[in-house]
Chain A
């Protein structure tokens, strides 16, 4: 607490802290009682730990040391319990309940130290002794490692070794800055002992916007320069950049720090190899040692952390830091606790966002009128208002986005139990859990995903001996991953099981009349047959996959979210299920174009460039497809007029808007370029769910309804268009007048 403002804040926030802490404490009691009924319930233990952890953390912010110290001991015990090192006994249960009472007392009297009598202090010390007798002899907790790092000395001047980690913001290049120059400059301050650039966050080439920056680096710099000098190198990127300049530490602490700064890597061994704490070869040795103890009872089973310390000579601080990071990641990907956030009724949030949408439309309308009035003061006032609206919009939209990892993590338990009940071994991995999606979509996607995951477990992955016979590891691999593509999110369920048995699928399709007897569709189409209603049979409808909840329902649910599902099956090797969902943000930045009397909106993030009056460069290739040459590349061109049979008298000039899609760039021929605008997305509703190329509608400032083009499915449509005939013509057999 360094100044008055801080003191004020804390005084104001204290009641809120006390009431939230009270909730946590109540929750702890309820959970403890539930735990007595189910002593092995891992979820309860996790929740218990989180509650205690939250209380401790908040108390720390308010400087309530008594609460922090005491709760820390409780937390340590809960941690060991959830790791399985200590099991719940009636005594321990009673002890914890008493401790919880203590925590409650400490929180209630946080402001009033005099309430804490000598007697009470003694009683509390007693509890602490009992807690510690249970937990002592354990590996150092992450708290200790952090404390050790914080107290690193080396107060003497002269040359020191600094660890500099910088994560550059997306706008770095566009702001005219260059991480390479910064790294070079740092090199002039002293001697760079080590520098590693982290490019995990860089999207694969096809999705990469080369003008956005996704780089981070970690550097060890031996220099006599001061912290200010070092930080000065980053002064121009400070706003955008996450910078950590750390005082020198012992080698072990140094490694620990490097681990903290790394982007998330779940595996302990990988983290340590990456910072050079242990070599890959040594790691393998250690892992094989651990493997040997696998079947043993928990107590004797060697922990990799211990082994790394003992066998590979990895400094204990590094191991502790890595373990701590793992824990943090585990906590981050386990279901979000409401305790860490402010609870808001979803309805209220939706109402605010709807109003915000109306505000954007109203703002657009007002802007039009202001421009028409030609009054400078009014136009300026309007601009100011619109920029405020933009800021609110940016702040509010994010509120609805939640990381998919929360939903994914729910599956862990299910996978474990299901695999166990099927007698199968599964290694379940979640990747990309912090990709975000609109809250309502996340809820709706959970069931279809669960169904697909169960399907993999049930039909895809083989039992261990079958796998071994096939030359695969006994443990099957199941990966649930999420990642962003342009304007969409890709959720993938991947297993290394049997894949789809196409012969059997085709046979069944013939038997059920889904496909004409004897007709063999292409492989991809055969795979997709499993989504046809009427496909699943009694034989397939096991207890797990559910009666009547077939794959057709899965596909319908996904399509209801305007998503798509694709299968990639490798018989004998595995199955990959790709689900693509649009990021239905309520408001998008769009580029408005006109064709005939109709107006269309292109998502601005997909627009690469605009070729005004480029229409005369459109040629027809040997297949009868329209295309245009752009700096030596040939791009296919979609002519909205013909594709959608929009009525229009052919204008003199047409322009081409070049857009980016997962399939590459292509051009869209339009008649009028109407510039950028912010539009509120109004979904078109179930009636239009089969509509391809259009992802929604939007109301313009003028009150007109414009259709929002979906670049990805538009790209797919272009390949279906042959010889310039419209899709409508080929589909309906007649072209409307």
Chain B
């Protein structure tokens, strides 16, 4: 499925400018990320494990001839590795840095709808108590009375950081 095939976003149009976010679930918790970086979403399939890598590097997959690494987001956030279920998917997103084109796959439990969150509804991440590292959070989006964690993929999925982690382990 490509990003543009997803359900049209539902949101009130009169609350000022905002961006569209893809929402997804990791073990019952809902997260969101800026849709602009999302290339496509694929079903979980054959994965090649790469040895000697940290647990959050689940392996690599063959995406139409390109070898793309798949990161287990749960594990990256310091939790147990994800269990593969019926709705498990891989979000392919563009992690390009410094002019170098890089694609990463994110293993998530389920993908939900695309929503629009006006900038005005986004608050700073809490000082403490957030379920994941503060610097991984771009902001907290208020949607329908609840807060959704908006991910900062450039921090949470910084290739250099992860590579350094892999090297030191």
Question: Which A residues fall within an 8 A CB radius of B?
Answer: 357-358, 361, 598, 643-646, 682-694, 697, 699, 703-707, 727-728, 731-732, 736
Contact = CB atoms under 8 A, between A and B. Distances in A.
Given A644-B51, A686-B102, A704-B48, 17 more contacts: A358-B65, A598-B49, A644-B52, A682-B66, A684-B67, A686-B159, A687-B162, A690-B163, A690-B166, A691-B52, A699-B67, A704-B62, A705-B61, A706-B48, A707-B48, A728-B52, A731-B169
B50 interface: yes
B53 interface: yes
Contacts of A684: 50, 60, 67, 69
Given A731-B169, A732-B169, A688 B69 contact: yes
Contacts, number: 79
Nearest to B71: A687
B163 A686 contact: yes
A687 B159 contact: yes
A699 B61 CA distance: 9
Contacts of B169: 731-732
A705 B67 contact: yes
Interface of B: 46, 48-53, 55, 57, 60-62, 65-67, 69, 100, 102, 104, 159-160, 162-163, 166-167, 169
A156 B110 CA distance: 92
A693 B50 CA distance: 11
A736 B56 CA distance: 13
Chain A at the B interface: mostly helix, strand, loop or mixed? mixed
B66 to A, nearest CB: 7
A495 B62 CA distance: 46
Contact of A689 (B49, B50, B57, B167): B167
Nearest to B164: A690
Contacts of A699: 62, 65, 67
Given A687-B163, A731-B169, A646 B51 contact: yes
Contact of A697 (B67, B100, B162): B67
A728 B67 contact: no
A692 B104 CA distance: 21
A732 B53 CA distance: 10
Contacts of B66: 682
Nearest to A646: B51
Instruction: List 5 tightest A-B contacts by C-beta distance, closest first.
Output: A690-B167, A644-B51, A705-B48, A682-B67, A697-B67
A731 B163 CA distance: 16
Nearest to B97: A686
A688 B48 contact: no
A691 B54 CA distance: 11
B50 A688 contact: yes
A703 B51 CA distance: 19
Contact of B65 (A361, A646, A685, A694): A361
Contact of A687 (B52, B55, B57): B57
Given A685-B69, A687-B69, A598 B62 contact: no
A689 B163 contact: yes
Contacts of A704: 46, 48, 62
B48 A598 contact: yes
B48 A697 contact: yes
A557 to B, nearest CB: 13
Contacts of A598: 48-49
